[in-house]
Every structure is written in C-alpha cells, then in structure tokens.
Amino acid sequence: MTKTACDPLLPRNASPGRPKDLEKRAAILDAAKRLFPEQGFDGTSMDAIATAAGVSKLTVYSHFNDKESLFIEAIRDRCDEQLPVSMFDAAVSGDVSDQLMPIARAFFGLVASPPSIAMHRLLTAGTKTSDKLARLFWKVGPVRAQEGFACFLQRADEAGKLQVADPMRAASQFFSLLKGELHLQMTMGCCEKLSDAMIEEHLVATVDTFVRAYQRR
C-alpha cells in the first residue's frame, strides 16, 4: 500500500507549498520574550529581534502581523511560564508560621526574579499595548495566586490555627507585605545589594507580622 504523506486524520495543511518552520517561529518568540523585557517596547526594534532569532526580518513579519502582535504573544507566554503551578495545596498542620515561610520564600523568589521585575516594568509602562495585557495578566497572575493562598488561609481558619474573616483580603495583604519596599526598590533599580540575610530577615518579619494580625484570639 502507498503511504501517503498526507494523513487525512491529521490537521490538513491547507497550503500546498512549503510549510512555515515552527522552530523559527519559536526562535522569534524566544528572542522577543528576552528582548522586550530587557529593553522595553520602544527600545526593542524588529531588526534586533530578527537578528537575535537568527532569522530575516521578513520572516518575523510572516509569522507575526506587526510589532504589537508579537509583543502581546511574547508577554502572554511569559505570564504562563512564571505562573506557580500549585504552591498552596499543602495541608494545614503543625505551626502555621513554619508553613507560611516556604510560601513566603517561593512568592518572594518569584516576584523578585529579574524576569518578573522586567515583566512588571513592561506592564506598568502605561503603553496602550500594555493596558490590554495588564488586564489579561491580572487574571492569570495575581488573582490566581491570591485565590490559591486564600484557600490555604480558609483551611487554616477551619483548623483553628488562624482567624481569617476575609481570606481574599488577607491573601492580598500577605502578598503586599511580602513585596514591600524591597520590591519597589528593585523595580526602581536602586537596590543597594540585597543580601540573602536581609531577604530572609524581611520574610521572617513579614510572616511574623501577618501571624500576629491573624492569630486566633
């Protein structure tokens, strides 16, 4: 029997000619995901992206309609990647502070990472483009994390470890405290050194304050 190269069960490639190279598309997207956060929207030229991807500029335009489309896809990808999968599904047991500390470390490590800082800058740049993105990011980023952590807090409340009337607000407060002035300094780029000891001290103080505010009374 003749094994036709075009399996009718697979998604039919409508166009007869040479198919687009998906690896090139990925390379372009990778370059965009790296360059946009590094240099901003205005600061990143399509030529630079094409060069970084090892591809001609026209190829970039054949895969993506224009600069804005590419930007949006790149940022959306980054959001998905950085989303912590399941950080809050631990059962409530033992000392609450001991359970909060790893969560605090993970969250701070996430938002304080250079890609997250770069991301944050892009989203707060106030561009027309970044507005649509910000709404999208808000749903898949902060909101999802808050819901997960609020869930954990509710379980802690039910287990009698904490007293949390409004878990979503408490979760939001916890994350705000965690970011704190350190995160602000980082986004501004005027962070002196930020030793690990300082960070750990900050995390401990944050968990401490949070537990004092929401301890059972």
Partner DNA sequence: GTGATGCTATACTGGCCGGTATAGTAATCA
Partner DNA sequence: TGATTACTATACCGGCCAGTATAGCATCAC
Binder among 123, 150, 153, 162 for a copy of itself (CB under 8 A): 123
CB of 134 to DNA, least distance (A): 21
How far, in Å, CA of 83 to CA of 144, rounded? 9
Q: Where are the alpha helices (DSSP H) in 83-192?
A: 96-111, 114-123, 128-138, 144-158, 167-188
Residue 4 interacting with DNA (CB under 7 A): yes
**Complex with a copy of itself: residue 20 or 216, whichever CB lies closer:** 216
Is residue 177 helix, strand or coil? Answer: helix
Beta bridge partners of 77: none
Residue 89 contact partner, candidates a copy of itself, DNA, none, CB within 5 to 8 A by sort of partner: none
Residue 89 interacting with a copy of itself (CB under 8 A): no
- For 187, phi and psi rounded to 5 degrees? -65, -30
CB of 13 to a copy of itself, least distance (A): 39
Name residues contacting DNA, limited to 48-77 (CB under 7 A).
Answer: 48, 54-59, 61-63, 66-68
Binder among 140, 172, 199, 200 for a copy of itself (CB under 8 A): 172
How far, in Å, CA of 27 to CA of 35, rounded? 12
